[in-house]
Structure formats: C-alpha cells, structure tokens
C-alpha cells in the first residue's frame, strides 16, 4: 500500500480460541531489512520427501520396539526422560557434499513444546537458548499449529527437537548459507533417521544472539514445513515454501526480506521452484496476497491440509471457502497488485493493505521495457506463471496490438494512469492476438502481459501507435469501408500519391465494428506513384479503414465476392454531421446496405431517415456507434420490411461527424452485380473536419 499511516501495523489473528496481536516487525527491527538472509534447506529434500511418502505413506507412530531399541522409550512404550546436560548423537546432512554425517550435541533446555540441543564445540549463551525456547513455546508453536495444523508425532513425545548447529553448507564461500531445514527422514524408520520431530537451525552465521528476529522467523519457517509434511506430504515446493514464509509473518517476525529480489526481477515463474532468493520473495508475496484477500488464516489452514496440490489446490481451497475465483484469476490480479499496490481500486484486489511495495523497492516493481516515443514495435518473452511490465510514454491517442504465441495462454492488461487509475483487459482470441481502441489523456500507461500457461516458452510481439489529436499524427486522413473474406467478400485498396515531388508515407489501419484495430500496414508511395493490394487481416468482422498520409492522396477500395462481381467505393477525406445517399432501392431485384464509420474517440449517435421520391419522410431510425467503430444498416430495416424503389436516405450524426458508404446489389444478372457510393456531404450541412479526441 503506497499510502502508509504510522510506522507500525497491528494484525489480530484468532486461532484455536486464542488471540494473537502481530506487530509487522522485520528482521533486526526493520520491516524491509536489506540484510541478506540464509535460505531454507528443506527444498533439497523435496525428491526424498516424495520417495518416503510413496514408500511409507503419511508419518505415523513408529513401533515401540524400534523406539525402545534406539533408546527413545521404555519397555512400556513411554518416552524416556532426558535431562539438561545429556548428550545425543544425531544424523545431519552436509549440503556441500550431499552426504549424511553424525554429530554429538548436548541438551541445553527442556521447554513446554521443545528440546533445545547445541552441537558440541559451540557456545551459545544460556539467555539466548532460554529466549529461543520461550519464543518457540509461547509464539511459534501455538501460532503455527493454530493456523497450519498440528505436527506429526512419530515417537510419542510431544516435544520437538531443535538442534542448534553449524549446518555444513560451504559458508563462508560464495554460495550463501543455509538458515535451517526440516528433514522428513526423521519421521520414519529409515537410514539416517533420528526417529523424532526435529528441525535443524544454523548458528554460523545465523544465531539467536546477534539477530534473534531472523533466527525466530527461520524457526517458524522450518516448523511449518514439518506441519505441512504431516498434512499434505506431496504438496508442490512453491506452495510449501509460500506457507513457510507466511508463517514467519504470522508469528510476528515481519515480511520476508527476499521480496526485494523478486521485485527486481519479476519475470520469474511462480510455480517453478528453484530455491533462489527471488523465489522465496515471490511465493511469500503470493501467499500473503491470498491471506489478505481471501479469508485470512482459515483459507491458509484449508490450503495446508488440502490433498489437491499446486494450482489445483489454490482453486479448490478458494471454492471451499466460498470464492468463485480460480487460480488463474487470482494470479492475474496479483500481478497487477504488484505493480499498482493500491487497494482502493479493483475492489481491493490491486494492492496490499499490510505491505508497502515502494518501501521495499523505492521504484516499485521493475519494468521490462520503457518506451519514450511512438511508434513502437517490439518482442518479448515471459516465463509461465509470470508477468512483464512494459511502460509507454504519454500520448494523444494510442492504440495497441498484441500477438502472443498461438499455442500459449495469455491475459493482457493495460494500466492507465490519469486522474484515476484504470485497468483494462484486452480481449485476446484463441491465437492470443488482440488490439485496442485508442487511449488518450493519460500520464503513464503500462502493458502487463500475464502468462497463465503452466509450461513452455512465452514469446509475444506488440505494437503501439499514437494516432494524434485528429485521429492521426499525419496531416491527411481518409476513410473507407472494409469487408472481410469471412463474410463472403474481400477488400483491396488502391492509393495514389498526388504529390509529384515527394514520396508519401502511408499507414492503413483496419478497425472492427467495435473499434478494435484488426490490422495496420505501412506503405511508401513514390512521387505520383500508386500502390494497390488486397487487405489480408484475419478479422472476423466487417469494419472500416483509416488511411493516414504525410502527402495528399486519391484512392478507393474495391470490394469483391468470388471472381465475377466487384464494386469500387471512393475514399472520403472528411467526416460530416449531415450526409445523403442520393439514390436507394429495396425491391425484389435490388438491395441497399449502408456502412457508417465513427472515427472519433467517443461513441456517437446517427439517425437515418428514408425519404420517398415525393419528399415524404418515413420514421427516423437512431443508432449508436461505438468509438472508432462501424454500424451496418440495411435499407430493409428502415422500411420496416417493405419496399422502396427510388428515394434517398438522409444521415445525421450527433455530436461528431461520421463517414458513410452504401453498397448496391442486384440479382437481375446471374451471379449478381454491385455498385458502391460514398455518402455525399450536404452543402448546407455542418461540416466537421476535425475528429473529436
């Protein structure tokens, strides 16, 4: 949330009948500390977790005979009492060599819910040990178990072993350090098992003396892994790690300090876990977002114990808690929240209440590209379950075209900063292609391609054009109708450069009936030269064309169907508020259809009136045409299904001018024949030579 109140935030959690007041403190007292934390080693046991689960099932009580043989219980199966000062040999894992080894440790504290052992040869003050045990007993244990569920109990001893040791991870080398880990081996009678609930906590460089908040956060993290394994052993790593990082916050140790690494490189797949620092920051943000927006701790409880895994688990937990959103929807909203961080818009879904993105990363989430001018033509690639953020300069009337990989799954959003913030989703077809109408009057606009696919590469291309205050940045604009091949027609254009001294730079933009750009082509025409070609857009609608040029042009479109019928319609160089089609016919042998385009940035209302040959006017018919859209109107509808042999149609537009065309067809000739006309501006009509921005 970019607007912060005060320097401390309080959250109230109700779990298991207890109330916990959580202060959002960060590591070493700073909510957004830049101190580099260690990583969790539990991830390295992911494959082993799956193997153990398949071999033994969920953790259950180990047989009394095995526990008795290992010196854990007496002959009646009760846990043997251990006392402070007692030594114990433990199996531990060397992350540098990938091998198990044994260490000797001494019991230093027996707490209500824990045993605290320290590796022999290391000295930790009694105060630090007592504080760690107290923190686990009074905060971490009740909070984690109250939200995520109870821990397993394979040895009949309700206490969890916390082993403080120098985890062998290669530190102080260049590969960082391991802050702690949970090894599921200890939950089974298996090689290298300690036959108990146990977490390993690093004391070099991590320790409970110099940075207790970080240490406690890591302890809450690892204990959550233990609980999660007992509840959903085959859960995907990114969900497990997301819940574990959330446990740090829920226990009162602040936001995960790795968030800054994700914000610096957001093209990072949420669901592909690699154990990088940015992965931890990303999954924490996502789980925190779910916690804030979808029911808090009850949702997290259900997710932890949900047998559905990964994205399917998110979707089914949302449904179980009464939400109609699925993972894809929530994920897309979350990517926008990471950019906007403003819970006042989007019904609260586009920001955080208990976290300030700009406090973590002063510039906000990193942009993939920034474009200071137009036109823009570029390509990008985004990982699955990730997003890019592409910023565009302010413009007068900017349109966008997007072309995603045909075999992929994209959603595309445009975030428009004006006096208010607007979020628009671009409609993409099955091939991940789409375009927009014009955006105007914004101070900043960001395109957010969101990839909701679950695998593979995510290539895309995009274009952006600023068409200027008059619908174009070029001094000359012309208008023509367009008919698609899918409706049985094809359309071509012939354009001639009227300047004998200079070449013309021309763009031809095809708009659909609802004002969406279907295609844009650039052409160069020699002095006094001409170009002639058939439009090849894949649009499924009829529409209209805007021809923009830096030199004056003459031209027409030619419309055909099959090979035996073709009509020409001359292009018009202006719009008007009053137009006439001077001759129309609707009989058994003749049809007339009108095509009215609105090149303006706002919708407009047009009124068509059929006037008989004797000057009698029929009832007017009004139509609304969307911004930069087109309306097809049959004369038959103006006549209410009747006939009209001759006469004219008057067209008025309010408040802005339009361009209009008519196409005549006849069935007298076999195969049919056509004629086309541009509507004629009335001499005393109010002419509009400027498109309303």
Distance CA 193, CA 209 (A): 29
pLDDT per residue as tens digits for the range 40-93:
999 999 999 899 999 999 999 999 999 999 888 898 888 999 999 999 999 999
Q: State the sign of the Cα–Cα–Cα–Cα dihedral 3, 32, 145, 20.
A: negative
Distance CA 457, CA 450 (A): 13
Give the 3-state secondary structure of residue 241. Answer: helix
Dihedral (C-alpha) 638, 644, 647, 649: value to the nearest 10 degrees? 10
**Which element (helix H / strand E) includes 663?**
strand 659-666
Two structure tokens written together for 43? 């991830």
pLDDT of residue 36: 57
In 132-258, where do the E strands start and end?
Answer: 160-165, 178-181, 198-202
- Counting Cα atoms < 13 Å in the Cβ hemisphere of 235 gives 27
Query: What is the DSSP code (8-state) at residue 439?
Result: B
β partners of residue 303: none
Pair 532, 492: CB distance under 8 Å: yes
With 0-12 / 13-18 / 19 or more C-beta atoms within 10 angstroms meaning exposed / middle / buried, residue 341 is buried
pLDDT per residue as tens digits for the range 644-658:
888 999 999 977 789
Distances, alpha carbon 566 to alpha carbons 402, 439, 592, in Å: 33, 36, 15
pLDDT of residue 465: 86
Distance CA 266, CA 388 (A): 7
Two structure tokens written together for 92? 């531990």
Pair 273, 241: CB distance under 8 Å: yes
- pLDDT less than 70: residues of the chain: 1-37, 173-175, 468-474, 485-488, 537-541, 562-565, 666-673, 683-693
Pair 379, 460: CB distance under 8 Å: yes
Name the residue among 257, 168, 242, 159 with its Cα closest to residue 211.
Answer: 257
Beta pairing class for 160-165 and 198-202: parallel
Give the 3-state secondary structure of residue 143. Answer: helix
Name the residue among 178, 222, 231, 233 with its Cα closest to residue 199.
Answer: 222
pLDDT of residue 587: 84
Distance CA 280, CA 245 (A): 7
Distance CA 663, CA 644 (A): 15
Pair 85, 129: CB distance under 8 Å: no
- 407: Cβ contacts below 8 Å, ≥ 6 apart: 456
Pair 669, 595: CB distance under 8 Å: no
pLDDT of residue 683: 64
Distance CA 512, CA 482 (A): 9
pLDDT of residue 132: 97
- 682: Cβ contacts below 8 Å, ≥ 6 apart: 576, 578, 579, 580
Pair 234, 53: CB distance under 8 Å: yes
Distance CA 433, CA 410 (A): 9
């Amino acid at each position: 949330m970019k607007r912060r109140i005060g320097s401390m935030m309080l959250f109230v959690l109700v779990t298991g009948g207890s109330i916990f007041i959580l202060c959002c403190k960060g590591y070493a007292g700073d909510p957004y500390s830049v101190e580099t934390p260690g990583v969790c080693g539990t991830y390295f046991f992911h494959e082993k977790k799956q193997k153990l689960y398949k071999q033994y099932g969920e953790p259950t009580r180990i047989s009394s005979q095995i526990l008795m043989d290992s010196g854990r219980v007496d002959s009646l199966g009760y846990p043997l009492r251990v006392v402070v000062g007692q030594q114990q040999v433990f199996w531990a894992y060397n992350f540098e060599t990938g091998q198990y080894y044994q260490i000797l440790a001494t019991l230093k504290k027996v707490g209500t819910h824990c045993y605290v052992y320290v590796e022999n040869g290391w000295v930790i003050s009694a105060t630090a040990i007592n504080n760690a045990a107290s923190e686990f007993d009074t905060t971490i244990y009740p909070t984690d178990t109250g939200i995520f569920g109870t821990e397993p109990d394979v040895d009949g001893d309700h206490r969890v072993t916390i082993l403080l040791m120098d985890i062998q991870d290669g530190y102080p080398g260049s590969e960082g350090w391991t802050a702690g880990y949970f090894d599921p081996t200890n939950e089974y009678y298996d090689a290298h098992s300690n036959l108990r609930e146990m977490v390993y906590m690093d004391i070099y460089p991590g320790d409970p003396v110099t940075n207790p908040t970080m240490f406690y956060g890591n302890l809450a993290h690892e204990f959550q892994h233990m609980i999660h394994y007992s509840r959903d052993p085959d859960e995907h790593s990114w969900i497990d790690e997301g819940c574990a990082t959330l446990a740090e916050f829920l226990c009162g140790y602040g936001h995960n300090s790795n968030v800054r690494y994700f914000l610096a490189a957001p093209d990072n797949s949420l669901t592909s876990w690699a154990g990088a620092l940015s992965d931890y920051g990303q999954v924490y943000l996502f789980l925190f977002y779910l916690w804030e927006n979808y029911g808090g701790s009850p949702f997290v409880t259900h997710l932890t114990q949900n047998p559905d895994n990964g994205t399917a688990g998110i979707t089914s937990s949302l449904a179980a808690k009464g939400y109609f959103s699925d993972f894809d929807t929530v994920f897309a909203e979350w990517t926008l929240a990471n950019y906007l961080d403003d819970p006042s818009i989007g019904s609260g879904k586009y920001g955080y209440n208990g976290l300030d993105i700009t406090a973590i990363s002063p510039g906000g989430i990193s942009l993939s590209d920034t474009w200071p001018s137009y036109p823009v033509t570029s390509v990008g690639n985004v990982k699955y379950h990730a997003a890019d953020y592409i910023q565009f300069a302010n413009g007068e009337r900017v349109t966008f075209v997007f072309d995603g990989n045909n075999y992929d799954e994209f959603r595309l959003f445009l975030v428009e900063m004006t006096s208010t913030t607007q979020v628009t989703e671009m409609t993409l077809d099955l091939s991940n292609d789409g375009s927009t109408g014009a955006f105007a009057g914004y101070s900043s606009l960001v395109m957010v391609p969101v990839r909701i696919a679950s695998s593979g590469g995510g290539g895309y291309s995009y274009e952006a054009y600023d068409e200027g205050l008059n619908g174009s940045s070029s001094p000359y604009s012309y208008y023509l109708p367009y008919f698609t091949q899918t409706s049985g027609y094809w359309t071509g254009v012939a354009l001639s450069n009227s300047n004998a001294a200079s070449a013309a730079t021309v763009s031809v933009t095809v708009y659909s009936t609802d004002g969406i750009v279907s295609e844009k082509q650039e052409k160069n025409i020699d002095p006094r030269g001409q170009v002639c070609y058939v439009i090849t857009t894949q649009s499924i609608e009829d529409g209209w064309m805007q021809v923009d040029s830096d030199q004056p042009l003459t031209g027409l479109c030619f419309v055909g169907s099959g090979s035996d019928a073709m009509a020409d319609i001359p292009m018009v160089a202006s719009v008007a508020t009053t137009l006439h089609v001077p001759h129309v016919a609707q009989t058994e042998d003749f049809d007339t259809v009108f095509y009215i385009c609105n090149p303006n940035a706002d919708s407009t209302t047009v009124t068509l009136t059929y006037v008989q040959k004797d000057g009698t006017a029929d009832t007017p018919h009004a139509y609304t045409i969307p911004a930069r859209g087109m309306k097809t109107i049959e004369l038959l509808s103006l006549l209410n299904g009747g006939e009209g042999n001759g006469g004219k149609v008057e067209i008025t537009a309010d408040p802005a001018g339009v361009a209009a065309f008519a196409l005549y067809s006849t069935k007298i000739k076999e195969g049919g024949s056509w004629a086309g006309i541009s509507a004629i501006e009335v001499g005393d009509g109010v002419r509009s030579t400027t498109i309303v921005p």
